[in-house]
């Protein structure tokens, strides 16, 4: 049984949180602002999303420097965090690539 890669697990959790804060911002806070006229929710969700986005970038660097990730993996993961819901689409690919790296490096 392979040991867990806690850095990679933390990155995946952070990516999930970042994606969920995007959902909250787009599908809760913004409709409340524009339909009900209450902009306070956008400020709250916007701050949460900003913190999650920053944490995503930091944990990506930590996880990707722990193993020999390719330039393509870096570029793809960075680019997809700028696209709404991109982190959700990237996760299955990351899991597959991580498993390949674990097989190569033990």
Q: Model confidence over 8-59: pLDDT tens digits? A: 999 999 999 999 999 999 999 999 999 999 999 999 999 999 999 999 999 9
Confidence grade of residue 1 (pLDDT, cut at 50, 70, 90): very low
Q: What is the CA radius of gyration of the chain?
A: 16
Q: Are 52 and 24 in contact (CB under 8 A)?
A: no
Q: Please return the burial class of 71, using the count of CB atoms within 10 Å of its CB with bins 0-12, 13-18 and 19+.
A: exposed
Please state whether 68 falls in left (phi above 0), alpha (psi between -120 and 50) or beta.
beta
Question: Mean pLDDT across the stretch 71-96?
Answer: 94
Residue-level pLDDT at 106: 52
Structure-block tokens of residue 78: 């960075």
Length of the chain: 106
């Amino acid at each position: 049984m392979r040991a867990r890669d806690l850095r990679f697990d933390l990155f995946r959790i952070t990516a999930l949180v970042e994606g969920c804060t995007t959902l909250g911002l787009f599908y809760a806070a913004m409709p409340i602002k524009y339909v009900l006229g209450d902009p306070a929710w956008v400020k709250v969700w916007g701050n949460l999303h900003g913190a999650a986005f920053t944490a995503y970038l930091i944990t990506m660097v930590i996880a990707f420097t722990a193993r020999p990730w390719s330039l393509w993996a870096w570029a793809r993961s960075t680019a997809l965090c700028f696209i709404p819901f991109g982190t959700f689409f990237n996760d299955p690919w990351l899991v597959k690539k991580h498993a390949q790296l674990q097989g190569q490096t033990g």
